[in-house]
Chains A and B, each alone.
Chain A
Amino acid sequence: MSHHTTIRIEKVTLHSREKSSPKTILDDISFTSPAGKITALLGPSGAGKSSLLRLMCRLDDPDEGRIFLDEKDISDIPVLELRLRVGMVFQIPVMFPGTVRHNLEIAQKLCRTRECMSTEGLLDLVDLSDDYLERQAENLSVGEKQRVQLARVLVSRPEVLLLDEPTSGLDVMSAERIVNLIKRINKETGTSVVLVTHLLEQASALADYVALVSEGRLVREAEMKGFLKWAKMGKFKLAALMSEARNERN
């Protein structure tokens, strides 16, 4: 599978639905995630990164602005087609009751219009042996669940992979495995990846491209090298992100 799909965000604004204290979650954000590349949506907790990711697979719709998948407005793409072309990996992996095989079979069943991947060899893609197929998904460790979730999403051969803090809550080893996995999938399949992270180190290790988001606004979008240079010039206080990264490691 070799897909090269661009996601473009255009002037997106999103407000919270709380009647008591309505607030702006995303404020007039525009950026492009280049085709076949890994884009990191970087920013401190509560910046609106996850909300933005949810908009890209239409789990929510923006109040203003538009999102394009290969220059086609995603609201004009049938929902089923969009959800199969854009795979979402949630921060907290939710396993469906039953075995890992059952979890993968559900994803296959939902694939419908698209040629999906077979169960055999699928776990290999996420660095799990086929012995896992008959294990109860609920009993796996968080890291293993995260990889099963990734495998479940890969079933539909998505053109874009959205990853919401995929290493959150994982130990260093498991986190590293996931990071390597994302790199491998991107390299081998050409799948575009949008990765939400609050860790600058993770972003710099993985991403080709960065969109820095803070308090619902886009601060900067750039290629990783350029971004790091810019950051070193002290244009944005990245110390908070770095300290969060350290805390996470400890």
Chain B
Amino acid sequence: MNVIEISLINLSLSLILVVASLVITFGMRLGLWKEILLGTVRTALQLFLAGLVLHYLFRWNLWYVTILLLLVMTAVASFESMRRQRRRNLKVFFIAFAAVICGTAFSLTVVTAIVIQVKPWYDPQYMIPIAGMIIGNSMSAASLVLNRLWGELSLRKGEVESYLALGAAPFEASRHATKEAIKAAMTPTINSMMIVGIVQFPGMMTGQIIAGQDPASAVRYQIMVMYMILAAATITATLTAVLGYRLFFTKAWQLKREMFS
């Protein structure tokens, strides 16, 4: 099966889709045109740049360059998780970073070393796209956990302080909030597992099929990807919650007033 190449001219015709979005948002006066234009430009630039980086990465095929890129990707994802919070500080960044890196390292190791058995172990052709999927999903999980933790603790302030006043440590007082936050962060992943292949064909599988891969092989990859994302989201969400609840308490087992004012 041959892949139909997209020329730059043909690619520019896909801007019709952006124009359609712009027309609708203008018509509805949604005030989103700046974001759409910025998103359009960033998408093109970031992906062209990524293509360029991957091109050289595959050519060099060096383990330390692959690891460095993975670290950069994790750092950017952690920064993005922090940016999505009401209160942003370095602690939030490091919590997200630790959680994302653990979730990613586990899933990536299982997938590349045990399931696919990539050789050499750092082969960027496999490592980078797979890690990209994991890190993206882990980032969302970390953001969701931190947002939900704040929401739950605000909503249940009375309950949390009742626990604290009875002598509960912050981890005991916030147990309900952390559980809810982890569940909230895992729900999108679990939901997508329920509908995959029925109403949703994920990017990786679609990409492989368009690239001429046998659908049976693409499906096997996709199943692995879904399980990998589940593990990464679970580990990242749990670690973010376990580390993140501390952000809302003082050392004297008090809710930080400034976090909720």
Contact = CB atoms under 8 A, between A and B. Distances in A.
A17 interface: yes
Given A110-B167, A110-B168, A90 B162 contact: yes
13 contacts: A17-B257, A18-B261, A61-B250, A79-B253, A83-B165, A88-B165, A94-B162, A96-B159, A106-B163, A106-B166, A107-B166, A111-B167, A153-B166
**B: contact size bracket:** 20 to 34
Nearest to B165: A88
B257 A60 contact: yes
A220 interface: no
Interface of B: 158-159, 161-169, 172, 250, 252-255, 257-258, 261
A107 B167 CA distance: 8
A144 B143 CA distance: 40
Contact of A59 (B159, B165, B168, B258): B165
Nearest to B161: A59
Interface of A: 16-19, 57-61, 75, 79-80, 83-84, 87-88, 90, 92, 94, 96, 106-107, 110-112, 149, 152-153, 155-156
A110 B175 CA distance: 14
Contacts of B250: 61
A241 to B, nearest CB: 26
B157 to A, nearest CB: 9
Top 9 A-B pairs ranked by shortest CB distance?
Answer: A88-B165, A83-B167, A94-B158, A110-B167, A17-B261, A17-B258, A17-B257, A94-B162, A79-B253
Given A83-B253, A94-B158, A94-B159, A59 B164 contact: yes
A83 B158 contact: no
